[in-house]
Amino acid sequence: MQRLIESGNESKKNQAIAYYNRGLAHENKDDFARAIADYNDANRLDPNDADAFFYRGLDKEQIGDKAGAGAGRKADNRAAMNCLQGASAAPTMISSVAIDRRAA
């Protein structure tokens, strides 16, 4: 992961995934401060990554930052809604195509 992050050759999405995965590894070692830092980087690169917001909020709660945990939940909810709105557009377009084909 470290090489991927430092390479600068990867897309923002792949870098965000690497930061998120490294954050999970730090979290599993109870190194919440480093996990939060990696989740912050993941969210900077992919602001719609609800999982990174969610785990950052959990880790902030672990270190006693209740306000930060609450803000993380709000950001997590916004990111999740953005993902759902993007996902709901695809079935609508597919349904429209299916209806158009029946009309023809």
Domains of the chain: 2-103 (1.25.40.10)
What global pTM score does this model have? 0.67
Q: What is the DSSP letter of 65?
A: -
Residue 100: burial class (beta carbons within 10 Å; 0-12, 13-18, 19+): exposed
Nearest to 60 by CA among 80, 81, 40, 83: 40
**Cα(91)–Cα(78) distance, integer angstroms:** 21
pLDDT in tens, 30-77: 999 999 999 999 999 998 888 888 888 888 888 888 776 666 666 656
